[in-house]
Amino acid sequence: MVSSGDKRTAKYTAKYDAVTVGTRYGLVKDIATGAFAATANTMAMYETQVKNDILAVISPAIPAIMIAPYLAFMRQCFKRFRKYSGGTLQLELQTIANGWAVKGLDATALMAIAALFGATIVTPH
């Protein structure tokens, strides 16, 4: 059974001193904000490349409503790019591209997006 809110609050207050928590938060706040800003800027750069360079040039017939799935694929690639490298990255992106190709996305555009992250994937199927 879940304890009452008052009991949980009292337990938390006893464990963690507000001044200590505030001091720790203050020390890491600038670091975390800077790291997030850098990641968000990089993500925005990749999104712009996908929209302007890949979808507009390679596959201009893609309707505007279909841009979101390509950006979702790019975000998945970006997440794997930050976590893996080399052959593992290659296999991860190939697996993700295969999944999106089955959903009907253009294989040429998927391969171009994966190439942004340094992966050469075969035609997704």
Model confidence pLDDT, tens digit, residues 71-88: 999 999 999 999 999 999
Maximum Cα interatomic distance, the chain, rounded to a whole number of Å? 62
pLDDT at 39: 92
- On whether residue 124 sits in a domain, the answer given is no
pLDDT at 57: 82
Continuous H helices in the chain = 5-15, 18-48, 67-83, 86-102, 107-116
- On whether residue 110 sits in a domain, the answer given is yes
pLDDT at 100: 95
Average pLDDT over residues 100-121: 92
Kindly tell me if the per-residue pLDDT of 125 is higher than 80.
no
- On whether residue 51 sits in a domain, the answer given is yes
Highest mean pLDDT among 18-22, 24-28, 93-97, 104-108: 93-97
d(CA 95, CA 76): 11
- On whether residue 121 sits in a domain, the answer given is no
- On whether residue 125 sits in a domain, the answer given is no
User: Would you state the structure tokens that stand for residue 55, as one six-digit string?
Assistant: 């979808």
More confident residue, 100 or 62: 100
Domains in the chain, number: 1
What range defines the domain where residue 75 resides?
A: 5-116
Model confidence pLDDT, tens digit, residues 9-28: 888 777 777 788 788 888 88
